[in-house]
Structure 1
């Protein structure tokens, strides 16, 4: 439902006795996070990536925060800048905060090992696309304990209600993972995820790269190279990025480029083997 402003939704949820929570993408919003967490008890916020297989990314991942009456200033700052894609708002029953945390933790990873990826549910654009494409009966499994959500979509504010709030099992084929993502946005998501991964796991080498080249230009180049080679799996892009970071020029050796008539899977396996050999010799 289209809203004249998110304030209308906030007032309506509070009149119904619901607690309001903020789903915050903390990566570019650290000052807001620090303001909100100051003097807040630990049972009123949670880093969603903690206690999951990607706990090492908890510091740059989304936070779920129960809002208090004193949060007017930081909340107003966020509501006045929807173009920053900081996340979205959700209303729940007072006792359902732990259940909501667990609900989204169960939906963080998508796919099967070793090609699992991170589902960016905290991005308002991802949430909006999913809700606009699924039938109402699919919403409970997606929204879980949430009674309603409020999010920006382009220039408008929208809300979506959940007709059956509660704990729901993860479907075998979730509707929200079948939503087609525009190629340009898919590319931006992959670059952002790669940027966060390198900061979390290879910070020293990545910062050295930033002294010589624009990180996002470099990421864009490497992503385009991986796609051109048919390396579409997350682990393949990860290998290319990490291997490139370990060289003085931040580019993998020319002999690791594909050979004529070499299939993408053959190419990847060959390069992996060559990398292991170099590591064994102490070269890479």
Structure 2
């Protein structure tokens, strides 16, 4: 990657005296994570999900690694395949790793219980879209202690400088949560949150299903059905996921079908009541 945009960015940031780090989607980059772990001191990496409400998912969550050499072999492997969406690069003040991780931990969980979701800050597409839509004066609250970030955006590399790196409280209504998302990104977020819900609430049933068929394909079919019915509220998605675990082949009883002129809300309430009745949990 010598001479490439990200390599030149790394060289320049190091010349300025900044620490170099990679925010890594370790769930999809386990070999790279293991290679970085093997060659890093304990003070050179942190799990973002660790010491948070989602610490049980730390092994599948993002890790942040400090690295000393722009020519690091593992980093070069990532830079050679930017469209695999492995994460992004950042420069930090020396000893700034704990501050960066704490910054994102404070912005990690969105919404109120029981309908909380995880913000996929470590996805380069999420970062790129936020920076494309945010005003420059909102960069500091979003990027925190990061001095500069370098990331793959659509079909090319980009970098953004933070005008005021530092420690900022998480806003009550973050502007970056109002950024429009693409259908692909929305589906990825729904898949992640659906998997998290099933592992937290129905792990045995989900494990049994995974023995019989591809769980990712099953999740996609289920979420496609939710989209077709316009069931997007958390309680609607959780109901559909729970019910579909009982009929993994997605063969629904006739009362599940949408009636003429029935709104998504009316459809959901009717099906919920009918399902409870047939399962002996309610009377009509």
The TM-score normalised by the length of structure 1 is 0.84
Most deviating of 108-117 and 196-205: 196-205
Whole-angstrom distance in 1 between the partners of 2:219 and 2:231: 14
Greater mean alpha carbon deviation, residues 94-103 or residues 205-214: 205-214
Deviation at 1:119, TM superposition (A): 1.1
Q: Is the 8 A contact 2:11 2:70 kept in 1?
A: no
Residue of structure 2 in register with 1:81 after alignment: 81
In structure 2, what is the equivalent of residue 23 of structure 1?
A: 23
Query: Is residue 150–residue 160 contact of structure 1 (8 Å, CA) maintained in 2?
Result: yes
Structure 1 residues 262 and 212 mapped into 2: Cα distance closer, same or farther (>3 Å)?
same
Give the Cα separation in 2 of the matches to 1:22 and 1:277. 52
SS in 2 for 1:122: coil
For the pair 1:52 / 2:52, whether they are aligned, the reply is yes
Residues 192-218 of structure 1: per-residue CA shift (max 9 Å, x gap): 443455456645533443454443432
1:186 corresponds in structure 2 to: 186
Distance 2:275 2:162 in 1: 50
Q: Is the 8 A contact 1:25 1:62 kept in 2?
A: yes
Any idea what SS the aligned residue of 2:122 has? Answer: coil
* Long gaps (5+) in structure 2: none
What's the CA shift for 1:280? 8.2
Q: CA deviation at 1:229?
A: 3.1
Q: Which moved more, 1:267-276 or 1:155-164?
A: 267-276
TM-score for both structures, normalised by structure 2: 0.84
Aligned length: 279
> RMSD between aligned alpha carbons?
2.9
Moved more, 50-59 or 114-123: 50-59
The equivalent of 2:228 in structure 1 is 228
| 1:172, distance to aligned residue in structure 2 (A) | 2.7
Equivalent positions of 1:1-284 (< 5 A) are: 4-38=4-38, 40-69=40-69, 72-195=72-195, 197-198=197-198, 202-247=202-247, 249=249, 254-255=254-255, 264-265=264-265, 268=268
Q: Is the 8 A contact 2:231 2:237 kept in 1?
A: yes
Q: In the alignment, is the contact (CA less than 8 A) between 1:110 and 1:119 conserved in 2? A: yes
1:110 touches 1:117 (CA, 8 Å); kept in 2?
yes
Indicate if the aligned counterparts of 1:209 and 1:250 stay in contact, CA closer than 8 A.
Answer: no
1:25-77: CA deviations, max 9, x gaps?
Answer: 01111111111112634332221122222222222111111123498111111
Taking the aligned partners of 1:154 and 1:259, their CA distance within structure 2 comes to: 41
Unaligned segments of structure 1, at least 5 residues: none
What secondary structure, in the 3-state scheme, does the structure 2 residue paired with 1:94 have? coil
